[in-house]
Amino acid sequence: MTGPWEGSKRLARPFTDKRSRRLLAAFLVSELGDGITAVVVPLGVYALTDSVTALASTFLGRKLAGSLFAAAGGAIADFTDRRRLLLASYVIRAVLVAALIPLPATNPVAFVVIGVIVGAAGSFDNPAAESALRASYRHDLQSLAAARKSGKTVSEMVGPAAGGLLFGIGGLTLALSINVATFVLALILLAARQSMPAGAGKAADTRKMKVKDVSGSPVPRARFPPVVIMSFFSAASASFLVAVATALAVPYLAGLPKAPDGAYGFALSAYSIGALVGLWAAGVASWSTTRLKSILIFSSIAFGIITVLSVSVPRWEIFAAAWFIWGIAFGPEDVVSDARVALIVPAGWLGRVYALWSIMGKFGAAGGYVLVIAISGLAAQSALLAIGLLYALIVPIVLVFLPREPRTSGA
């Protein structure tokens, strides 16, 4: 393991390297805008209906629409100029957000529908963004994974908080106007020709997918090697649990007698801070002798147990503390799986692989929201206790029976 200081400097290099800095900056500001939108629609629906079913249905619609957008974006990303695709997407998303501003007073239903579309539209350009970034910075994929996910975590933490603050100061018009401005800034960052290296802008020949495992050997008789299959399953299962916990956290915290009005936001912030700590720790560590399957099994057990502990004592402080630990626990899984998948997948297939990876996560989350709707009559605490326990028991068993990657000196 490298020293913490040297490791931290290595993790910061993607933010300053000319091959990746503009891409990372554009993603950061556009995702800040996404966070502003994300806080307006779902919580607005809950405030109007006081219904967990309506809240979960809003999340579900966003995830299902996001899956369709991701499939379309992944199909295009590997066959077109990724930079131009990103620029066009940012323009369209800015126009959609601007269209939301007058709708609450004139057409609330259209506001909700377009709000769901805006929330899902980021999935369209995500495959192009992620594949371009990995193609630009292939020499240190572990540092890149930690940097990219740290930036995304910051966006997810600051964006909703900024959205709530802006909404409180100037209402919907101010909040969504700032959202439009974030897409304009992202456009400016990517407008320069040097914003994306030539090898990342347009994928190479993609007629054949010659995926190799991390040792460099061809993978026989399989579309995806074990590391990709395990990563897909892990994304689906973890997203399922996060969806359930996120949706049920709203009524659970609302029902606690001493929980402040902002308890839900505090819990989300605690998770995000924990995620930054976990991503840093995973980024500076050496995982070359650790199998991905071992990391995923340990993580899945930890996720389930933490979910149980979060509601074992009905106090919002315990819930927030558990989510902080949960964020830390996600670090190794996020960084190692991303680095190893990017290492073995050719640049010409990265867009489609990342699109499918995203879709697996969205399907898992959609399954979680469907479950929340189905058990809406059950107390949130009881539901989280049961689901967390079952997750810690079932998911590791499934992972044990999935194909195992060969032991190598990979990332």
For position 6, what pLDDT does the model report? 66
Q: Measure the CA–CA gap between 140 and 17, rounded to whole angstroms.
A: 12
Least confident of 93-102, 309-318, 384-393: 93-102
* Whether the predicted pLDDT of 235 surpasses 90: yes
Between the alpha carbon of residue 224 and those of residues 211, 231, 326, 353, the distances in Å are 7, 11, 29, 9
Confidence tier at 341 by pLDDT (50, 70, 90): very high
Q: Given a cut of 50, is residue 181 above it in pLDDT? A: yes
pLDDT digits over 188-223, tens only?
988 876 555 544 555 544 444 444 444 444 444 446
pLDDT of residue 121: 84
11-25, 149-163, 211-225: segment of lowest average pLDDT:
211-225
pTM of the model: 0.78
Contact 56, 366 (CB under 8 A): no
Contacts 24+ apart (CB under 8 A), 294-297: 295/332, 295/333, 295/336, 295/337, 296/230, 296/234, 296/333, 296/337, 296/399, 297/396, 297/399, 297/400
For 136-155, the pLDDT digits (tens) are: 887 788 888 888 888 888 88
- Cα gap 68→362, rounded to integer Å: 10
Residue 215 confidence (pLDDT): 43
On the question of pLDDT at 20 being above 90, the answer is no
Between 26 and 47, residue with greater pLDDT: 26
Please determine, for residue 259, whether its predicted confidence score (pLDDT) is greater than 70.
yes
Average pLDDT over the chain, rounded to an integer: 82
17-21, 24-28, 323-327, 401-405 — which is least confidently predicted?
17-21
pLDDT at 23 over 60: yes
Q: Is there a contact between 117 and 92 (Cβ–Cβ < 8 Å)?
A: no
b/e map of 138-171 (b: 16 or more CB within 10 Å)? eebbbbbbbbbbbbbbbbbbbbbbbbbebbeeee
Structure tokens at 150: 């740290």
Q: Domains, the chain, ranges and CATH?
A: 4-401 (1.20.1250.20)
Which residues are bridge partners to 81 per DSSP?
Answer: 202
Q: What is the pLDDT of residue 222?
A: 45
